Structure 1
Amino acid sequence: MLRRLARNRLYWKHMFAQAMTNGNETQMTQGTPFGRFFLHEKISQGAMAEIWLAADKEGNNFALRRLYNTSIFGLKTKKLFVRGCEILEKIHHHPNLIGYYEHGKIEGLPYVLLEYVEGHNLKLAPSRFPEVVEAYVGNILIESAQALEHMHDNGFMHLDFKPENIMITRAGDVRLIDFDLAEEKPDKPKKMDKHSGTPAYMAPEQLQRLPLDHRADIFAFGITAYELLTNKKPFNGDTQEEVIRRHVDPNFHIASTRQHNPELPLALDKIVLKCLERDPDKRYPYMSVLVRDLKTALYVD
């Protein structure tokens, strides 16, 4: 199925759009004013911010992300939010990054106005639309990799690459989101001032607070790809502490993706395992090389 992917893409675009339309759209409510926008429905909420479906007076729809109106967030959190907005503003001109319009403050709350896409993040999509994700798996891998490639080529690392930060649109395309933890890509591995991210997707050098570079994103891509292809985690464990120990333990053997899914091409298995090398020097040196190998393995021009 992976090898037929490119030929079937237009058909599955139509099927994905139909699936997203059939009874799953939340009915619009009367908008609550927020500056010059009207907030219609809450799309999602996280630890420090919420995302709303918003519209302007002309009826154009957007995704509006804003910090919660609470005093528990200090200056550091607000700086992270604004910095993520500034980075996205610089690099958003790419089909696999979420579209950016503006950021600022309304009623004292930092906000960012983004492209509105109908779909689910990659953590939810396999359970909501398993047949679509299965058909699109090759494109999801390639477009996610291309998003990171674009970031790296423009001088930034994401540093929180994970399924929750990959949107699958109703057209069946990828949008990379959430740039709050992004950092400038150093010329050589550099120790970061802050230790942030999602431990289950962190590279060993991140977890050990060692100098790192863009290859930490490549490791995170490897974990995400492994999970997508096998529905298993490469570093399993009963507790988060055990999972993290296995991330950094060179003696822990990572099972082949083909052990869980024998139909996967051998070349694709080798790509994923190369991303998961604990030594950064043994991983792919650049996302461009990884994208090239993915396209070759999946027979995509």
Structure 2
Amino acid sequence: MNGTDTVIQHPTKDRHPSVFGKYQVQYKIGQGAMGAVYKAYDPSIDRIVAIKTISPGILLTDDSGEFKERFLREVRATGKINHPNIISVYDSGELDGNPFFVMEYVEGKELKEFLADNSTVSLEYAKKIICQILDALSYSHDCDIVHRDIKPSNIFIDVKGNVKIADFGIAKQSNSNLTQTGSIIGTPSYMSPEQCQGKAVDHRSDLFSAAVVFYEMLTGEKCFNGSSGHVIMHRILTHTPEKPSILNVNVPEVIDNIILKAISKNPSDRYSGALDFKRAIEKSKSVSNYEPQKKHSIKLALLLVSAVVATVIAAYALFDKHNQESHLDRSENTMEWNQATVEPVALSEQNKITRLLKVAKAHRLVGRIIEPQGSNAYATYRLILSINPDNVQAIDGLEQVKQQLFEQTKLLLEQGKKEQAKSSIDTALLLFPADAQYLELLKVVDN
């Protein structure tokens, strides 16, 4: 069972104990394969708490006592930790032989849910979240505790925007022998290579997992994915993922390098500690400064995209003008040659175009043709054309974007969603003014 169950959710209708000792149960928050979590009230100090238990069925089949020991390990591991970014354990006990523990009740949502609710997460906001995660990990590592299951569903964002890490159920303490080398424990998409191989792990395994979470926040995609756990683990062991900037043009190269270092296959090639990882992130230059954007209408998003592209084009024009003015300082012959010929795209700019074409292709492959704001195929092709207006691949790419959007609009019409189709056409005409096929489609909608 994971930390999902410590967040406010709708109460279930299942029967449950009315009390755990002095704690008055209000309702069951959630049920997992391993146990349940309840929202309860502590009358002695007038506060709401969460109570975690093991499912009775698990105890009946737990001949080796491993599940009970793992549960008690979470109590011991979290109970010795006192950090603002880690969910606190207040108390523990037994009810009819079933162990339970009482912990901090978090009002907020999982990072997993947060990412699903937000179409984009700005670099600055992602840095704020990951730095709090690394603060918590640094503290737990100083307590000789390795979490071993850092993932979005074990990370909470409370109502004030603070991070809370939960579920130390598979945490490893340096003096523990419960999990022997050879055991594979963790969640495949976020496991380190050494976890996948069942090798001994240390704090650097958590840094790998944290970097994978950071990657997902910035790109909206899992760093390692696959059709099964075995496929995912094979990719973790053998595959180097695309740089985050390939999926999000707002990610600077310095962040690419930080993440790639943290997900090195060899632990010794990663950061030596969570604070070193955090310092590297804090030193990186900011390229954006907006909070996560909720999913708005396509039309509004594209108006903003158009503004961004226009700004980029204007900035590039100024840059180009500066370069042209600098040419005037050269010899007269050179100046005349520049005036008489069309100068080819500089090598550095060509490298940028090559990279941006890959970014645009990646956006199209995952369906980001015109959204989210500032990180989509349309905006990327426009940026390429601001550098080189004659780039054939970008021109062709925009044509494909237009056609893909057209097919989506036709589908809306076929489904009888005329209002949405009309909004899509209006948006398309903002991007591709006076386009004949959209004007024809508009007539169909208006009739």
TM-score, normalized by length of structure 1?
0.81
Q: Kindly tell me: are residues 122 and 197 of structure 1, through their superposed partners in 2, closer, same or farther at Cα, counting changes over 3 Å?
A: same
Contact 2:11 2:29 in 1 (8 A): no
Higher strand share: 1
> Partners in 2 of 1:100 and 1:133 — Cα distance?
32
Contact 1:167 1:174 in 2 (8 A): yes
Task: Name the structure 2 match of 1:127.
Answer: 116
Q: Kindly tell me: are residues 61 and 139 of structure 1, through their superposed partners in 2, closer, same or farther at Cα, counting changes over 3 Å?
A: same
Matches within 5 A, 1:271-286: 271-286=258-273
Q: Kindly tell me: are residues 132 and 228 of structure 1, through their superposed partners in 2, closer, same or farther at Cα, counting changes over 3 Å?
A: closer
Q: What do the CA deviations read for 1:175-232 (whole angstroms, capped 9, x no partner)?
A: 111111111248xxx9636432112211111111223321111111111111111111
Task: Name the structure 1 match of 2:33.
Answer: 47
Matches within 5 A, 1:162-181: 162-181=151-170
Contact 1:31 1:40 in 2 (8 A): no
- Pick from 192, 197, 204 the counterpart of residue 215 of structure 1: 204
Task: Name the structure 2 match of 1:13.
Answer: none
Q: State the SS of the aligned residue for 1:39.
A: strand
Task: Name the structure 1 match of 2:76.
Answer: 86
Contact 1:28 1:40 in 2 (8 A): no
Q: Kindly tell me: are residues 65 and 185 of structure 1, through their superposed partners in 2, closer, same or farther at Cα, counting changes over 3 Å?
A: same
Number of residue pairs the alignment of both structures matches = 270
Matches within 5 A, 1:18-29: 26=10
Q: What do the CA deviations read for 1:134-190 (whole angstroms, capped 9, x no partner)?
A: 87322211101111111111111111111111011111111111111111248xxx9
Q: What do the CA deviations read for 1:45-100 (whole angstroms, capped 9, x no partner)?
A: 32212111110235420011111122234411001100111111111x11101022
Q: Which amino acid aligns with 2:253?
A: L
- Pick from 241, 249, 267 the counterpart of residue 254 of structure 1: 241
Q: Kindly tell me: are residues 108 and 191 of structure 1, through their superposed partners in 2, closer, same or farther at Cα, counting changes over 3 Å?
A: closer
Q: Which amino acid aligns with 2:112?
A: K
Higher helix share: 2
Q: Kindly tell me: are residues 111 and 132 of structure 1, through their superposed partners in 2, closer, same or farther at Cα, counting changes over 3 Å?
A: farther
- Pick from 68, 92, 96 the counterpart of residue 107 of structure 1: 96
Contact 2:38 2:51 in 1 (8 A): yes
Shift of 1:241: 2.2
> Partners in 1 of 2:11 and 2:147 — Cα distance?
34
Contact 1:37 1:56 in 2 (8 A): yes
Q: Which moved more, 1:73-82 or 1:171-180?
A: 73-82
Task: Name the structure 2 match of 1:67.
Answer: 54
The CA RMSD over aligned residues, in Å, is 2.7
Matches within 5 A, 1:160-239: 160-185=149-174, 192=181, 194-239=183-228
Q: Which runs of 5+ in 2 are unaligned?
A: 1-7, 287-447
> Partners in 2 of 1:25 and 1:133 — Cα distance?
27
Is residue 289 from structure 1 mapped to residue 279 from structure 2 by the alignment? no
> Partners in 2 of 1:182 and 1:42 — Cα distance?
25
Task: Name the structure 2 match of 1:137.
Answer: 126
Q: Which moved more, 1:274-283 or 1:100-109?
A: 100-109
> Partners in 2 of 1:52 and 1:298 — Cα distance?
43
Identity of aligned residues (%): 31
TM-score, normalized by length of structure 2?
0.56
Q: What do the CA deviations read for 1:103-136 (whole angstroms, capped 9, x no partner)?
A: 1212322111111111111111222355788873
Q: Kindly tell me: are residues 185 and 296 of structure 1, through their superposed partners in 2, closer, same or farther at Cα, counting changes over 3 Å?
A: farther
> Partners in 2 of 1:129 and 1:263 — Cα distance?
16
Contact 2:182 2:198 in 1 (8 A): no
Q: Kindly tell me: are residues 199 and 137 of structure 1, through their superposed partners in 2, closer, same or farther at Cα, counting changes over 3 Å?
A: same
Is residue 154 from structure 1 mapped to residue 140 from structure 2 by the alignment? no
Q: Which runs of 5+ in 1 are unaligned?
A: 1-23
Q: Which has the larger radius of gyration?
A: 2
Q: Which amino acid aligns with 1:147?
A: A
Which structure carries more relative contact order (alpha carbon 8 Å, separation 6+)?
1
Shift of 1:27: 8.0
